[in-house]
Amino acid sequence: MKKTVLTIIMAVIITASYAQEKRYGIERAIVKITTTMGMGGMQQTVSSTQYFDEFGNKESSETFMTTGGQVVSVFTMMKDGYSYNANVMTGQGIKTKLPSAADNYQMVNYLNLTNEVKSQYKIEEKGNERILGRDCKVYQMTVPVQGQIVEATVSVWQGIPLKLSMSILGINVVQEVTEIQEGATIPREKFELPAGVNFVEMNM
C-alpha cells in the first residue's frame, strides 16, 4: 500500500512540475522534504531530498523510508522523456514513459499556467501562504492518476511546490519542504542513473 501511495504522489508531482521549458524561478537548489501519510490513527513519515539544476531541466530525488525495520533508499529521476524509480539497495527499478502532447496530455508549469492547463486540471487560485519566509501562491487542482481522481492543494514559490496536501485511497498525505539550499553545489552523480540497477519498463 505504501509503495502504491508513493507512486501516485510521484505521478502527481510529475504532472504538476515536469516540462521541457524552464519551470523553476531559481537556477539550482537542494530541497529537503518531509512527507507524512496517515490513516486510521496511524502515521508514517518519509524523508526526501530533491536536487535540480538548469532551472529544473535536470532533476532527481532520494527518498528514505522504513519498511520491515529496514531503511530503504529510493532514487527517482526524470530523463529523456522517462521517469526512473529505483530501490538502490535491491538493485531493482522501473522506468515509465512520461505522457506527451501527442497523448493529449498537458504538463503543468507553475511559472506559465495557461488557460488550457488550468481547465484540464481544474486549477484555481486560493490565495497566498507564507512558508519558510517565502510568499507562495496556493492552488487547488484535480489530477487523474492510475484510475484515481486525486484532489490536491499546492502552495508554490518560484514554481516549486513547498507544500502539497491530498487524500489517496483513504490516506491523508501532506508533503512539506523543510529546507531550501539555493545555489548549492550539486554532485554530478545526482543526475546519473545508479549503477547496477535493473530498470524494467512499465506503463503508468
Domains and CATH numbers, the chain: 2-202 (2.50.20.10)
Residue with cell 545526482: 190
0.85 exceeded by pTM: no
- Measured CA to CA, the distance from residue 23 to residue 114 in angstroms comes to 13
Residue 144: predicted pLDDT: 74
So what's the pLDDT on residue 202? 84
Rounded to 5°, angle at Cα 162 from 77 and 126: 125
Burial group, residue 41, by CB count within 10 angstroms (0-12, 13-18, 19+) = exposed
78-112 pLDDT, tens digit per residue, is: 887 788 989 888 888 999 887 665 455 566 889 88
| First vs last C-alpha separation in the chain | 17
Would you state the pLDDT for residue 64? 84
Using 50 as the pLDDT threshold, list the residues of the chain that sit under it. 1-4, 14-19, 102
Q: What is the pLDDT of residue 149?
A: 80
What pLDDT score was predicted for residue 1? 47
What pLDDT is attached to residue 12?
A: 53
Going by C-alpha positions, the residue among 3, 6, 14 that lies closest to residue 121 is 14
Q: Quick one: pLDDT at residue 20?
A: 53
